[in-house]
Amino acid sequence: MAASLFERLGGEDGIRRLVTDLVDNHYRNPLIRTRFERVKDRAALERHSVEFLCAGSGGPQTYTGRDLLSVHQGMNVSEQELIAAIDDIVAAMTKNQLDASVQNEVVAILYSLKGEVVRR
């Protein structure tokens, strides 16, 4: 039986490391950092991101945050910003030595969520 995406991402510990790196990347990215600098509770952002990735990749965790549509409502995120965020995630996956097939699967999932994020 094939391993779940959750398992291939390294389980909760691997996803936690990945999220730390991707959030760091977002804060350094000149195209999107101002959006993240407005976040009042970085720990909550990271906790919800870990939950979201764990639950969405087949892990046993429950996501306790708001849905993507309401989180991004009124932000008017551009496609360029979405691509910048995805690039940051790919860089974090590379840093965490996730193989290309895992990276491609994650990127495909992220692009499938575009309608809930862009121009809301």
pLDDT digits (tens, 9 = 90+) for 2-18: 999 999 999 999 999 99
User: What is the rounded average pLDDT for all residues in the chain?
Assistant: 97
Does pLDDT of 1 surpass 90? no
Residue-wise pLDDT tens digits, 30-45: 999 999 999 999 999 9
CB-based contact 38:90 (threshold 8 Å): no
Global pTM?
0.94
Q: Tell me, what's the pLDDT at 97?
A: 98
Q: How far is CA 10 from CA 13, 59, 90, 102, in A?
A: 6, 11, 15, 11
Coil/strand/helix, residue 107: helix
CA 26 to chain centre: 10
Question: What per-residue confidence (pLDDT) applies to 87?
Answer: 98
Nearest to 31 by CA among 77, 84, 101: 84
- pLDDT of 98 > 90? The answer is yes
How far does CA 37 lie from the centroid of its chain? 16
SS3 content of the chain, % helix, strand, coil (to 5): 65, 0, 30
Domains defined for the chain, CATH in brackets: 11-116 (1.10.490.10)
